[in-house]
Structure 1
Amino acid sequence: MYARLVVLWLLLGLLYGGMSSARAQTSPALNLNLPPRLTPPPDSIRKRLAPLDSGKVATPAPKPKPAPAPAAPSKPLSVRRPRILVLQTETADRPLLRRYHFKTSLPDSLAVLREVRALVLSLQGESYLTASADELRWHRDTVRVQLYVGEKFRWARLRNGNLGDGLLTRAGYREKLYRNQPFQPQEWSRLQERILREAENQGYPFAMVRLDSAQLRGADIEGHVLLERGPLIVFDSLQIVGNSTIRKRFLTKYLQLYPGQPFSQQRVSEAARRLRQLPYLQLKAEPEIRFARGRARVYLLLEDRTANQFDAIVGVLPNPTPGIGQKRVQLTGDVTIALRNIKGGGKGLGLQWRKTDANSQQLDAQYAHPTFFGTPLELGGTFNLYRQSDPVNAFQTLRPRVQLTYPTARAGRISFFTEWRSSRLLADTNFAKLTVLPDNIDTHFTSYGLEYTWTTLDDPYFPRSGVLASGQGSVGSKIISRNPELNETLYQDLPLRTTQVSAGTRLERYSRIGRGGVLVTRLRGEALFNQRLFLNDLFRVGGLSTLRGFNELNFYASQYVVGTAEYRQFTSSDAYLFAFIDQGYLRRDILTDNSTNSPTGLGAGLSFRTGAGQFQFVYALGRDNQQKLALNAGKIHFGITSRF
């Protein structure tokens, strides 16, 4: 009885004086959750059971003999005897204990003590704060425990002391959750942590939370939540440690850590995540904060990463339909130049030229300007030119795009964009003879859309673990233009203005397997929806970047999905062997062709670093409705990626 009165007295004292410091430390008031010390067995019993508890059988010392050399003591024997746990409690508490799954047969005495302690902690976590193991009786292989459960404590009322209503609301406080509700120490601790987190994000990293004016009426607890904010702390400046040439002014705007603003631990954590998204910087350690005279100075250990890129890839492909004077083998090319972090300001410029076959060429350009007008927004633009000079289907498509991107702190980027797409037919003397519309047509398409990218990759160039997910959708108005060289009667039953919707997604996952092994799984797909689609409206699929084992941009599709499974075996940090399989599903939905295809590509390759850059070699085979899996139809791609 006296022991429980002492426990109640300590409970009141802790509720009055318990405090939690900032930085999400555990409140001293939570010490009331700890159970009383388990009563050890009496000395006489403990002496007899000590050898058993330690797992050894004691051997009496040998009697002295007159011989000069005493007899050697016998070697202790190791035994392991199970213990039977018997709980003795009041009759009214027995139904309650049936909800708790505890073992009654345990391997040794230490396991018994742990099981009893776990049971007491579980009871206290369920609002039985005075639960305790009052007495343990040890008799041979049986341990009898006198367990006291006690009353179930509850909140009579938890009131707001000096906290603003907005802060309490953001911390998840609702008065009804703390009125006539069970007192659960873990929930009270979580509320304290949430309040402290809100305080340290508003400039008070040294705040403390405590329960003030606590009153205990029987098993009902009442009090006020009181916050002692401490001194107001503001950001001082950024300090870059390391050999990075990045501009401090750019980082201040990009990370939104302006001098004079109230300190926020959340912004510091977000800064680390945002820095890991930049391919031209490497964060060597977590940001360090030093407080002095009401100011917080943030230190960043950064190193520049070689991110500028020059690629030159050459493809050797068989020509399926060689014409007069043409060779059976055709060469394709892909040249890419990418400049990142221009003059330390984070700006990027890229240019790519691709020759997909003898009659097709493609040009891509892009520009990125971060911290636009001093905001965390990034202004970017892309331009795409595709020209096909096929004698049968000759056309040219232009696709300029402008987008505004916000890099979120949760390792993601959200973009709003507008895109203009203009496609026109190249002059053909046979147009006047046509009696139906050709597969390609003159169109203008203006769309507005949203794109989101989220990544947790551990390395932007050679990832071994993490996830990359992106998706985009757009909607716009498509206008068909009349070609003056075509008969106007061909356009009579054709809707010239329609709504067009497009969507796309890309999912990648990198998983470590064994020593140096990485499994890459990828899913990529796009879809286009319109009342009347033409060939030059469709997506182009095939080649090294989408579906290996086929010619570059070999397929036209209105909807497609490509799944990839690839195993990489790294031999060093930037060298690996790989084998892959690509499985696609393509659908073409135009007036002259409504078909599906399920191409499969498989192959192997290697990638390693040389003095000139990263060399890659890929050999792939493909199979679809028109092409069988054959070695003489294999595709070879090789090239060098140089970063500087």
Structure 2
Amino acid sequence: MPLKSQLISCCVIFLLFAKSAFAQEGYWLGWEEKDQEEIYWEIFEADEQRNTKIDSLIAGLKTQGYLGADWEEEYDRNDSLKISFYYGPKVEYLSLRNQNVPVDFLKGTGINQISLEDYNELVKKILGEMENNGFPFSSLRLDSLVLEENRLEGSLHLDRGPEILWDSVRIASSSKTNPNYLQRLSGLEVDQPFSQEQLDRSAIRMSRLPYFELQAAPQVSFRLQKAQPNFLLRDRNANVIDGIIGLLPNENDPGKVLITGQLDLQLYHLGGRGRDVVLKWQRFNELTQSLDLGFKESFVFNSGIDLRGEFSLLKQDTTFIKRHVGLDVGFRANQNVYVRFFTKRQASDLLASSGFGDLTELPDFADLRWNEYGIGIEADLLDQPVFPRRGFLVDFQFSAGNKRLLQNTALPEDLYTGLTLNTPQYALQLEMEKHIYFKPYWGAFLRSASGWIQNQNLFLNDLFRAGGLRSIRGFNENYFFASAYSYLNLEQRLFFDRESYLLIFADAGILENPYFAEKIDKPFAVGAGLNLDTGTGLFRFIYAVGKSAEQPFSLSFSKIHFGYLARF
């Protein structure tokens, strides 16, 4: 190819690439600020975005008091638009007459002479009040305007628009949630005035539940002066089943088999009505086992009250058996605070019936009955109920009641001489947790728990139990007895998925037990672990080493806590 033809081809190719490159530069906008000579240039991907910027600039000028502000084109070429502004006179303040705005909306506001900034805030306040009282389409306008120098006079007129009432909620998905339950949960009452504030609160309230999650902000359909809220829900896999069953030879009864193991079954939102059932059973040797049952019914008789029932049984080797029955009545004070009142009856009895004849004082365990009544308050400020990354949670519980000691016929009667059998007993528990989110892959978790129980005749089967995976790791479950305790869990978490992370931790506590040689114990533990979301469940593995007054700090006493929670 001749040199001339090659040069022409290169020029054509260059122009084609240059045209393409310039076309990709987008749409430019240039303007000058008032009393400044500098020209500001900004580029946009589309012409609509550039027009939106112009509207924003004009709105900003009007907010500054240039109510007559407008713009005109200076030139428009090569996708570059330069504009200039017309400012007009600047309004420093307004002098307004109230035409039909409710007087309550204007309390504390002198509209006879009000700055433009305060006027804009007043407009937001009035329209917000109307929006939250059934008039979401209301508007404000100024009539009979007169401009005198830097003052604008006129009448303030409110156009209420149609009154809008709530319609029944609609679930815009295939969620199993019952519409009647969602209606009660939302707090939106049919035929009551529309309120955007109520709708926002209902979204927050729903985000606190583990049953489902909102996939988008609730939408509202307006028709025939009715507002129907639409909630797009996605059900969570909240149900849990976890269990281990073991068959061992029964050493105390040769030829027979001993069943050991544990079962953790948690069923949530049964029937889509916020109905929960919990069953937990543990038996790791022949002599000790525990059983916990729980039931919750939400919005009993279509009221705002939840009802909970619970039963637990603990058989501690051959020493004692303890059981309690409880009933809770709770309600949600607001979207963050839940209040409950409860009553419990606890009963504990000695199992051994021999070997007490030579005692000179009561043993560490006793037959007792305790009827307690209390209040619990939970403040939930977590960002979400399942695997939160940010937020704070506080759970407080206080109870009081009468405890009655029963005289055991296997014990000498004189052991009870001078002992007050009926005494008041008090208990207090406080738990707090904090989630900190540093980066997408790094976070921290802190939990503090404390408890205190008071009675002039405390026995070991009265006391709190601590130790294990859910309290102080590095020890067996329920290893400690305590009349007062406080412990802190600190975890650093390295996330590699939304609900999967590696962790290192340190646990430390202080416990008081009047029946031990060292009444004050200060256990601590350190360790590491893994929390792995498998899609259908959760696998947890934790290795911990702990030290207390009864257990030395040694790898030979280390504990491995692991398990798999299947979710469905």
Q: What TM-score comes out, normalization by structure 2 length?
A: 0.75
1:281 aligns with 2:212: yes
Q: Which residue, 266, 272, 285 being the options, matches 1:338?
A: 266
Q: Which residue, 425, 442, 466 being the options, matches 1:517?
A: 442
Alpha carbons of structure 1 residues 152 and 314: separation in structure 2 relative to 1, 3 Å: farther
Give the gaps of 5 or more residues in structure 1: 1-36, 41-45, 56-120, 131-149, 316-322, 326-330
Task: Give distance in 1, aligned partners of 2:314 and 2:98.
Answer: 67
**Deviations along 1:336-380, whole A, 9 cap, x unmatched?**
101111122221111001236664322111111112111222111
1:258 aligns with 2:192: no
Match in the other structure for 2:175:
244
Give the gaps of 5 or more residues in structure 2: 1-32, 42-60, 67-89, 254-258
Q: Which residue, 531, 534, 548 being the options, matches 1:607?
A: 531
User: Shift of residue 266 of structure 1?
Assistant: 2.2
- Pairing 1:436-515 to 2, within 5 Å after superposition: 436-515=361-440
Match in the other structure for 2:311:
383
Q: Give the ranges of 4+ consecutive aligned residues of structure 1 lying more than 6 Å apart after TM superposition.
A: 150-155, 157-160, 210-226
Task: Give distance in 2, aligned partners of 1:214 and 1:476.
Answer: 72
Q: Which residue, 308, 320, 324 being the options, matches 1:395?
A: 320
1:536 aligns with 2:442: no
Alpha carbons of structure 1 residues 164 and 624: separation in structure 2 relative to 1, 3 Å: same
SS of the equivalent of 1:433 reads coil
**8 Å contact from structure 2 (residues 94, 116) kept in 1:** no
Match in the other structure for 1:596:
520
Task: Give distance in 1, aligned partners of 2:285 and 2:487.
Answer: 22
**Deviations along 1:482-502, whole A, 9 cap, x unmatched?**
223323332233222222222
More deviation, 568-577/268-277: 568-577
CA RMSD in angstroms, aligned pairs only: 3.9
Letter in 1 for 2:527: G
Q: Which residue, 302, 305, 325 being the options, matches 1:374?
A: 302
**Deviations along 1:395-448, whole A, 9 cap, x unmatched?**
122121111121344233221211222222224212333210111122222222
**8 Å contact from structure 1 (residues 471, 506) kept in 2:** yes
Alpha carbons of structure 1 residues 160 and 354: separation in structure 2 relative to 1, 3 Å: farther
User: Shift of residue 187 of structure 1?
Assistant: 5.3
1:205 aligns with 2:136: yes
Q: Which residue, 343, 361, 371 being the options, matches 1:418?
A: 343
More deviation, 222-231/568-577: 222-231
**Deviations along 1:142-190, whole A, 9 cap, x unmatched?**
xxxxxxxx999899x998965275xx5xxxx755x7599x956655554
Alpha carbons of structure 1 residues 544 and 206: separation in structure 2 relative to 1, 3 Å: same
Match in the other structure for 2:480:
555
Match in the other structure for 1:626:
550
Letter in 2 for 1:503: L
Task: Give distance in 2, aligned partners of 1:224 and 1:499.
Answer: 69
Tell me how many residue pairs correspond in the alignment.
Answer: 487
Task: Give distance in 1, aligned partners of 2:285 and 2:431.
Answer: 26
- Pairing 1:56-205 to 2, within 5 Å after superposition: 163=102, 168=105, 174-175=107-108, 189-205=120-136
Task: Give distance in 1, aligned partners of 2:97 and 2:505.
Answer: 61
Task: Give distance in 2, aligned partners of 1:332 and 1:380.
Answer: 29
User: Shift of residue 250 of structure 1?
Assistant: 1.8
1:635 aligns with 2:559: yes
**Deviations along 1:568-591, whole A, 9 cap, x unmatched?**
22222333222111111111246x
Match in the other structure for 1:430:
355
**8 Å contact from structure 1 (residues 206, 229) kept in 2:** yes
Task: Give distance in 2, aligned partners of 1:256 and 1:551.
Answer: 44
Letter in 1 for 2:559: K
Structure with more relative contact order (C-alpha pairs < 8 Å, separation 6 or more): 1
Match in the other structure for 1:267:
198
Match in the other structure for 1:233:
164
User: Shift of residue 302 of structure 1?
Assistant: 1.0
Letter in 2 for 1:446: N
Letter in 1 for 2:212: L
Letter in 2 for 1:540: R
Match in the other structure for 1:61:
none
Letter in 2 for 1:163: P
Q: Which residue, 221, 232, 236 being the options, matches 1:290?
A: 221
User: Shift of residue 213 of structure 1?
Assistant: 10
